[in-house]
Amino acid sequence: MLRIIKQKISSRGLSAPVIGGYTHRLSPVASTIRHFSSAIKEMLVRDALNSALDEEMAADSSVFIMGEEVGEYQGAYKITKGLLDKYGPERVVDTPITEAGFTGIGVGAAYHGLKPVIEFMTFNFSMQAMDHIINSAAKSNYMSAGQINVPIVFRGPNGAAAGVSSQHSQCYGAWFGTVPGLKVLVPYSSEDARGLLKAAIRDPDPVVFLENELLYGESFPVSAEVLDSSFCLPIGKAKIERKGKDITITAYSKMVGYALKAAEILEKDGINAEVINLRSIRPLDRATINASVRKTNRLVTVEEGFPQHGVGAEICATVVEDSFEYLDAPVERIAGADVPTPYAANLERFAFPQIEDIVRAAKRACYRSVSTAATA
Partner 1 sequence: MASSYLSKSKHMIMQSLKSKKVLMSIIMRHTSFVTNSQFCRPFHIQNYADSSVALSRSFGSIYCERRLHTATSVSNKITKELAVNMYTNMVTLQVMDTIFYEAQRQGRISFYLTTIGEEAINIASAAALNINDFIFPQYREPGVLLWRGFSLQEFANQVFGNKYDYGKGRQMPIHYGSKKLNYITVASTVATQIPHAVGAAYSMKMDKQYSCTVTYFGDGGSSTVNYKLINNFIFVIFLFILLKTLLQGDFHAALNFAAVMEAPVIFFCRNNGWAISTPINDQLRSDGIVVRGKAYGVPSIRVDGNDALAVYSAVNDARKMAIEQQTPVLIEALTYRAGHHSTSDDSTKYRPVDEIEWWRADQNPVTRFRKWIETKGWWSDETESEHRSNIRKQLSQAIQAAERVEKPPVADMFNDVYDVPPKNLSEQEALLRKTIKKHIHEYQSDVPM
Is 168 labeled as catalytic in the residue annotation?
Answer: yes
What whole-number distance in Å separates Cα of residue 307 and Cα of residue 70? 33
Give min distance, CB of 132 to partner 1, in A: 6
Is 321 labeled as catalytic in the residue annotation?
Answer: no
What whole-number distance in Å separates Cα of residue 114 and Cα of residue 107? 9
Peptide bond into 157 cis (omega under 30): no
Residue 135 sits in the site that holds partner 1 (CB under 8 A): yes
Pick from 329, 242, 339, 334: nearest CA to 292: 242
Residue 148 sits in the site that holds partner 1 (CB under 8 A): yes
The pairing of beta strand 239-242 with beta strand 115-119: unpaired
Q: Around Cβ 270, how many Cβ atoms within 10 Å? A: 9
Q: Mask 71-100, x = binds partner 1 (CB under 8 A)? A: -------------------x----xx-x-x
- Contact between 316 and 306 (Cβ < 8 Å): no
Q: Which is nearer to partner 1, 179 or 300 (CB)?
A: 179
Give min distance, CB of 95 to partner 1, in A: 8
What whole-number distance in Å separates Cα of residue 288 and Cα of residue 236? 10
From the list 22, 64, 220, 306, which residue makes contact with partner 1 (rule: CB under 8 A)? Answer: 64
Task: Indicate which residue of 56, 119, 132, 168 is catalytic.
Answer: 168
**Residues near partner 1 (CB under 8 A), total:** 46
Q: Which is nearer to partner 1, 206 or 305 (CB)?
A: 206
Residue 204 sits in the site that holds partner 1 (CB under 8 A): yes
Residue 136 sits in the site that holds partner 1 (CB under 8 A): yes
Task: Indicate which residue of 68, 99, 332, 348 is catalytic.
Answer: 99
239-242: strand order across its sheet: 239-242, 273-277, 247-251, 299-302, 332-334
Determine the 3-state secondary structure of 66 from DSSP: strand
Which residue numbers are catalytic? 99, 168
Which residues sit at the interface with partner 1, rule CB under 8 A? 61-62, 64, 90, 95-96, 98, 100-114, 116, 131-132, 135-136, 140-149, 180-181, 183, 203-205, 236, 283, 286
